[in-house]
Copies of this chain bind each other. A is one copy, B any other.
Amino acid sequence: MIVWSKSASFRHCRASPVTKHTPRARLVSNSRPFRRAEEIIDAAARVFAERGYHGASTQDIADVLGMRQASLYYYFASKEAALELVCARGVEGHAEAAEAIVAGLDPPLGKLAKLIAAHLAPNATKRDYVKVFINERRYLPTASRRRIGRVSRRIEGNFERVIQAGIADGSMRRDIDPHLAMLSVLGLCNAVINWRRADQAMAVDSIAAQFATLLADGLATNCKRRPRKGL
């Protein structure tokens, strides 16, 4: 339940003001106390996604939760640790899903389509986490950036191997560089999370996946049209 209580002009009371205007949503749980940790990192994801890591303060996170800034430190050791947590959750499962697809029996082009769809799926289910991973992971301290980086590379590897396989079996053009192709596909996929929500609503699920498929088609050999050289 959400409770709006009155209190003082002091900073620490920020979360319980007597507001005159329509109150805004605050994330507060009164059931299932062991879920509290989830809520806290959820709030962090939300705030980091909205304002960027450096643009967000721990106070902002506390505000969303209706708790005091200091209390956050019961749940994470530092702001950077919170960022790593959010980023980690933002790629959680991506690599495994990709590997499962690559291990499957589809032809390379089919695999690529599936990889794209799988890569975009979490945009719908954990938007904020994915957005933070994409936009903010660069601000992680070296150690954890490397940890997260390993996951990124696993994902990229899967895309790249599929493209290589496509070139090898002749289903994709041989005039492309697999590495740059992979970067392009992922670049497009990752751009989606920053689209306006309305655009994204169309993209996530199906549409964007299909546009990505167009890219796969672009790579396909049975496309009569040749790229102009040296453009």
Contacts and interface: CB of A to CB of B under 8 A. Distances in A.
Nearest to A30: B8
Contacts of A46: 13
Contact of A5 (B66, B177, B218): B66
A31 B1 contact: yes
A207 interface: yes
A26 B30 contact: no
A74 to B, nearest CB: 5
Given A9-B77, A81-B6, A128-B13, A50 B18 contact: yes
A184 B194 CA distance: 11
Contacts of A52: 18, 52, 54, 138-139
Interface in A23-42: 23-31, 34, 37
A214 interface: yes
Contacts of A76: 5, 9-10
Given A8-B24, A13-B49, A229-B206, A199 B224 contact: no
A64 B138 CA distance: 21
A15 interface: yes
Contacts of A124: none
Contacts of A209: 231
A84 interface: yes
A104 to B, nearest CB: 15
A145 interface: yes
Interface in A147-178: 147, 173, 176-177
A64 B10 contact: yes
Interface string A212-226: 111111111011110
14 contacts: A1-B31, A1-B92, A6-B81, A7-B17, A8-B17, A10-B24, A10-B28, A11-B75, A12-B25, A15-B196, A114-B231, A191-B191, A218-B223, A222-B224
